[in-house]
Structure 1
Amino acid sequence: MDDIPDGPPLINSVDIAALPEPEAKPEPLSRYGNPESYFVDGVTYEIRPVDPGFEETGIASWYGRKFHGRLTSSGEPFDMFQFTAAHKTMQIPAWIRVTNFENRKSLVVRVNDRGPFKEGRVLDLSWAAAKRLGFSENGTVKVSYEVLTVPTANPSLIPNPLAKTAQSVFQVTAVSTEEQAQKLASQIRSAIPQEQASVRVESNGSGLFRVQVLPTLNLSVERAVYEKLVMLGWSPQKSIMK
């Protein structure tokens, strides 16, 4: 899945210039998108409260069709035709005004995802936001952003249909010998960090040995584990262990 090229939509029937900016309005915090901390590529990121008026300058990138329809860290599907953004540590959802340093265009976007995880980048914007800000033809641009003030919302968490009350299990494959299953499990363990998932072999009692991967209870990690398995050539099937 990682070898699929990212880019703009192959067919665009949306008038980006006519899209309204998202309204900064009270919303409960995302239940799934705000763990105390999370771990990506050897780095631990700690989530911090939204700080209205906070400003930052840095490099912004954008993402598009490769991720369209995939779940964001908030549990919402990514829509490249909406004005959204990813930030590494800001509580989500949040609203920020982004300004392109090169042309001074600015836009309000809703932060609902995590990233970017390349050094020196502060935001990953949706394709639509990059288009509106005038840098969709480029990979990156220097921007500044300001966190907007939003009236206080009900502090209760969003009821998330994907919220976990039980363990997700990815069944990777089933083979006829335990030796073969353990060998495959060992290969998967060497490719997926222990803090992201555990790997086990189970017998179904009828001569088959199942190789299963159990991701930690975090949507971002679960998504990363799934995509890693796909990249390794597997077609994992998800089930829920009560």
Structure 2
Amino acid sequence: MKALSLLFICLLLCCLSGCSTTSHTSTSNGGYYLDDGPESHPPANLDLVPNAVPRWEPYNRYANKPYEALGKWYYPQTNNAPYRAVGYASWYGRRYNHHRTASGEVYNMYAMTGAHTTLPIPCYVKVTNLKNHRWVIVRINDRGPFKDDRLIDLSYTAAYKLGILGHGTSQVLVERVFPK
């Protein structure tokens, strides 16, 4: 009986270890999943993708209500208050590309966008990588990341421009910016 139990456990572990392999050859892993990353042929010249340009937009009436995610309640800001915080940025790629965001827009991993748990949707933030001092401006149009050690999720291109793709995360400064 012990041998049968041991055999079952070994088979189970073998099956589970197969779940942890990635389906792409990139060493860059973003978001929460090991199989997230770039598509087979990402566009050339991602360096030329411009920052988001802040403009006044009405807040999304659906994406700014209190909500629960993974057993925790979040209360989005619904005003034009300043925001400045230091934390870790992660990114999400092809796993969510072409899926609806919290704003109802379709996620484009090659646009300059981001996800935040409580900033108004939409709004704009300047994200500065504190390791290399590169910065980008992204438009917040989604909710997340829902991990306690993360402050913001960035699109693939924003993470690329900040130099965090290979690491998956990096410490950043997030500052809300407004139209001039």
TM-score interval w.r.t. the shorter chain?
Answer: 0.7 to 0.9
The answer as to 2:56 corresponding to 1:26 is yes
Larger radius of gyration: 1
The one-letter amino acid paired with 1:47 is: P
| Contact 1:98 1:146 (8 Å CA) reproduced | yes
Give the 5 Å matches for 1:87-166.
87-150=116-179
- Please give the alpha-carbon distance, in whole angstroms, between the structure 2 residues aligned to 1:140 and 1:3: 13
> What percent identity do the matched residue pairs reach?
37
What does residue 3 of structure 2 align with?
A: none
1:32 is displaced (CA, Å) by 2.5
The answer as to 2:37 corresponding to 1:7 is yes
Runs of 4+ that moved beyond 3 A: 50-53
What does residue 12 of structure 2 align with?
A: none
> Is there any run of 5+ residues in structure 2 with no aligned partner, and where?
1-31
Give the match's secondary structure for 1:57.
strand
Q: What are the superposed Cα offsets for residues 167-200 of structure 1, whole Å, 9 maximum, x if unpaired? A: xxxxxxxxxxxxxxxxxxxxxxxxxxxxxxxxxx
Q: Which of 72, 75, 91 is matched with 1:43 structurally? A: 72
Instruction: Summarize the Cα distance change of 1:51–1:27 in structure 2 as closer, same or farther, 3 Å threshold.
Output: closer
Instruction: Summarize the Cα distance change of 1:139–1:3 in structure 2 as closer, same or farther, 3 Å threshold.
Output: closer
What does residue 80 of structure 1 align with?
A: 109
- Please give the alpha-carbon distance, in whole angstroms, between the structure 2 residues aligned to 1:110 and 1:70: 17
What does residue 16 of structure 1 align with?
A: 46
| Contact 1:14 1:81 (8 Å CA) reproduced | no
1:49 is displaced (CA, Å) by 2.6
Give the match's secondary structure for 1:9.
coil
| Contact 1:52 1:149 (8 Å CA) reproduced | no
The one-letter amino acid paired with 1:29 is: Y
Q: TM-score, normalised by structure 2?
A: 0.78
Give the 5 Å matches for 1:143-222.
143-150=172-179
- Please give the alpha-carbon distance, in whole angstroms, between the structure 2 residues aligned to 1:27 and 1:52: 15
Instruction: Summarize the Cα distance change of 1:131–1:77 in structure 2 as closer, same or farther, 3 Å threshold.
Output: same
Give the match's secondary structure for 2:151.
strand
- Please give the alpha-carbon distance, in whole angstroms, between the structure 1 residues aligned to 2:60 and 2:44: 28
- Please give the alpha-carbon distance, in whole angstroms, between the structure 2 residues aligned to 1:52 and 1:100: 23
What does residue 17 of structure 2 align with?
A: none
| Contact 2:64 2:78 (8 Å CA) reproduced | no
Aligned Cα root-mean-square deviation (Å): 1.8
Structure (1 or 2) with the greater strand fraction: 1
Q: TM-score, normalised by structure 1?
A: 0.58
> Is there any run of 5+ residues in structure 1 with no aligned partner, and where?
152-242
- Please give the alpha-carbon distance, in whole angstroms, between the structure 1 residues aligned to 2:52 and 2:76: 23
Aligned residue pair count:
149
Instruction: Summarize the Cα distance change of 1:49–1:3 in structure 2 as closer, same or farther, 3 Å threshold.
Output: closer
The one-letter amino acid paired with 2:40 is: L
1:150 is displaced (CA, Å) by 3.1
| Contact 1:115 1:124 (8 Å CA) reproduced | yes
